Amino acid sequence: MSRKMAIYPGSFDPPTKGHLDLIARGSRIFDELVVAILRNPEKTPLFSVEERKEMIELLTSGYKNVRVDTFEGLTVDYATRVRATAVLRGIRAISDYEYELQMALMNRKLQPSLETVFMMPAEHYSYVSSRLVREIAAMGGPVGALVPGLIEQRLRAKFGAAKRSKAPAASSKRGRKRNLQS
Ligand code: PNS
């Protein structure tokens, strides 16, 4: 019997515990699962594609049948290139359904042999989204329940660094004065 391979496409900016939960579930029903990070030139992400790839690789290193890749362009073209038979997507709540249905049907129109498989993450992750995680972390709120420890650290480093570079540090003021004087 042929091996069943699925891609799990998304932005993963950043990966959340909900994404990890879905990867665990997907890895149990497919022979191979490729987490496929979209390179989207129209968006300015918080984490670069390379950072996201490295983070997801570290977080999924325990799974023998999961690998991480990046792609540009249409999901169906990427799926065809890697010979995937299915696209895995998560549905957290009914509010996700309309968009996901539209995307699944459009993908089917573009590539009829590619199936979309929806899975639900654990209900306690049903309210977790990368967008809310970014927003909470940017304002210094706690995200430990929403993302793995590694991501929490990276968020702290990212926003700590952003704050530091924005703060009118005493030393830089002194520097400016010196520059004005010189
Ligand atoms: O994590 P996201 O942002 O919800 O993932 C959305 C993603 C990447 C799956 C979707 O935007 C996508 O497939 N983009 C690639 C371009 C494409 O194929 N567009 C047509 C979709 S019907």
In tens, the pLDDT along 81-103 reads 999 999 999 999 999 999 999 99
Average pLDDT over residues 171-180: 40
Higher pLDDT, 119 or 161: 119
With residue 131 as reference, give the H or E element that holds it.
helix 130-138
**Å from CA of 104 to ligand 1 middle:** 10
Catalytic-labelled residue, pool 17, 52, 92, 154: 92
**Å from CA of 38 to ligand 1 middle:** 7
Which residue type sits at 146?
L
Q: Who's near 31: CB < 8 A, 6+ residues apart? A: 3, 4, 5, 65
**pTM for this model (two decimals):** 0.90
What pLDDT is stored for residue 174 in this prediction? 43
Whether residue 64 contacts residue 24, with contact meaning beta carbons closer than 8 Å, is answered with no
Q: What is the mean pLDDT of the chain?
A: 91
Please determine, for residue 176, whether its predicted confidence score (pLDDT) is greater than 60: no
Q: Is 148 helix (H, G, I), strand (E, B) or coil?
A: coil
**Residue 130 beta carbon below 6 angstroms from any ligand 1 atom:** no
**Residue 11 beta carbon below 6 angstroms from any ligand 1 atom:** yes
**Sign of the alpha-carbon dihedral angle for 35, 40, 45, 50:** positive
Tell me the β-bridge partners of 179: none
Residue 1 banded pLDDT, cuts 50, 70, 90: low
